[in-house]
Amino acid sequence: MFHNKFSEYKDPSGEFTNAELQAATWYVRHKLLLQKIGLSLLIFFCLVTGIYGVGGFAVYFLSGYFQDKTNLQLQVAEIQSFSTLHDKIVVENLRIRPAEIYSHTQDRYDFLAQVTNPNKKQIARITYRFVYNGGATEVSQAVLPPGAERFITFFGHQEDFFPFGERLEIQKVEWRRVDPHDIPDAIEYTKARDTFSLSDFHFVQAGTQGSGLQNNSIRFSVTNETAYSFYEAEFYVKLLNGEQLVGILPLYIDNFRSFEIKELDLRFGTGISSVSDIEVVPTTNVFDGSVYMKIDL
């Protein structure tokens, strides 16, 4: 009877064992089956991952996509809110130029310094004085509207000598934010109430023949070009000789009605010999409701 002696085969070269020969034989016999199993597993893996991906995309499209849009809108709103909050909280410092002194009368001196409020929504109430070597002016206050560039002044300080080493000393700045619900644009609000025109300017020097003046005089007309009437409109007048500033005068006009023309004559000392032109700069606190005259109905 024939017996399978393959299991008892021994390789005479000794390069591989009988067990290795049996394993190789099994692989050859089952190679096609193994390929089919491997291909089936690969197809199954692809189907599972594909279904998972499609399902995930569908879930994202149905809910996540719209949630992302909402989150993006919230982020934009947060950025805008931060910008608004920045405007509310962050206040830029006042910009101050060096102080100057002018005099047109013996022993009386006018101090001034140009100050800018760079903020568009903040009103500055400034408590200040001018100091110099050996003295100081009295403490004063001034209001600087949003975006304004004006002289901060002190008129008629008495001193036995011409002051030197002058500087503006800011003691306190109080900030008040303009409510955008009441006043959307504070700078335009100010312009609408600070529009005045100047005409008919004449300078008459003291001692001019036929004038009979002991002091210099400037004569001019100011027109209130605004729709608002003021109990007392406040200004300062810049005295110019060519383009050079040679002095500054305070000016107050009582009961200055809308579109009214006021003819004015200001007198000042003989320390200024010539004035070729003037500028009238309004300084009324237009954010103070008490400065406006009531309209007669």
Per residue in 36-89, pLDDT (tens digit) is 787 788 888 888 787 877 766 666 566 555 565 555 655 655 555 545 555 556
- How far is Cα 192 from Cα 286, in angstroms, rounded to an integer? 10
| Residue 15, pLDDT above cutoff 70 | no
Q: How far is CA 110 from the centre of its chain?
A: 32
Closest CA to 214 of 101, 103, 105, 102: 105
Structure-token match 């020969």, residue found? 21
Higher model confidence: residue 134 or residue 33? Answer: 134
Taken in order 29, 32, 36, 38, the sign of the CA dihedral is: positive
CB 58, CB 50: distance < 8 Å = no
| Residue 296, pLDDT above cutoff 80 | no
| Residue 252, pLDDT above cutoff 80 | yes
Residue 102's pLDDT band (cuts 50, 70, 90): very high
Closest CA to 87 of 149, 178, 15, 181: 178
Would you state the pLDDT for residue 49? 82
Kindly report, residue by residue over 196-251, the tens digit of the pLDDT.
Answer: 999 999 999 988 766 678 899 999 999 999 999 999 999 999 999 999 999 999 99
- How far is Cα 270 from Cα 211, in angstroms, rounded to an integer? 14
Higher model confidence: residue 41 or residue 105? Answer: 105
Q: Give mean pLDDT, residues 21-30.
A: 69
CB 242, CB 290: distance < 8 Å = no
- How far is Cα 265 from Cα 224, in angstroms, rounded to an integer? 17
Structure-token match 């206050």, residue found? 141
| Residue 14, pLDDT above cutoff 60 | no
Would you state the pLDDT for residue 43? 85
CATH 1.10.1740 fits 194-297, yes or no: no
* Amino acid letter for position 118: P
CB count within 10 Å of CB 171 equals 11
Would you state the pLDDT for residue 68? 58
∠ Cα 225 226 230 (to 5°): 110
What is the reported pTM?
A: 0.69
CATH 1.10.1220 fits 94-182, yes or no: no
Our CA dihedral for 15, 20, 25, 30, rounded to 10 degrees, sits at -140
Q: Give mean pLDDT, residues 181-191.
A: 94
Structure-token match 């149905």, residue found? 62
Kindly report, residue by residue over 130-164, the tens digit of the pLDDT.
Answer: 999 999 999 999 999 999 999 999 999 999 999 99
Backbone φ and ψ for 246, nearest 5 degrees, come out as -115, -5
